[in-house]
Structure 1
């Protein structure tokens, strides 16, 4: 939907056209070349500037690496002189479920489906 230009807009365009009528063709050509050079320089991207999607991908990859290399807070810190036995004391969390047969009896009961439906 286009609307008719307002009177102030029409007046500004008229003044601009009158001003251009008083400028010589040589000056207009120099101004046109300068504008084209400025536009070409503005679109040239420095070699060190990354596109936004590449910069965002690099940040995401760095976060993934940081999370993957983060030590597990649940594990005890290994001693420098006693590294062998410290690693032997690590307990598997699933091992506690295997030791409790009551958990499996409860899992097979009807209470589990009733809790799941709630």
Structure 2
């Protein structure tokens, strides 16, 4: 253990242990290591990028589909079935009520109150 403080002796001992370890590796393991090193040195095969693009696109579409379900929906106002009366017709109607007080007399009568309560 005194070799640790002496860097040169430590390096020689480490190299010696490394050489011993390399000598004890089986030929089958060395062949597998060489094949793996050569495969790693090869450039990536072209033509597989579309798989990554398709997977990313599918994930994005799926995320948007899930997200749309959580968006609050706003109610759309329903268009009236009949056209709205013009301003002149409304003003004519209000003036006719003002000119005809019999309507108010009828509403105050017993018959008008009976119809209003139904």
TM-score w.r.t. length of structure 2: 0.32
Please identify the structure whose Cα radius of gyration is greater: 2
TM-score w.r.t. length of structure 1: 0.32
Higher-RCO chain (CA-CA 8 Å, sequence separation at least 6): 1
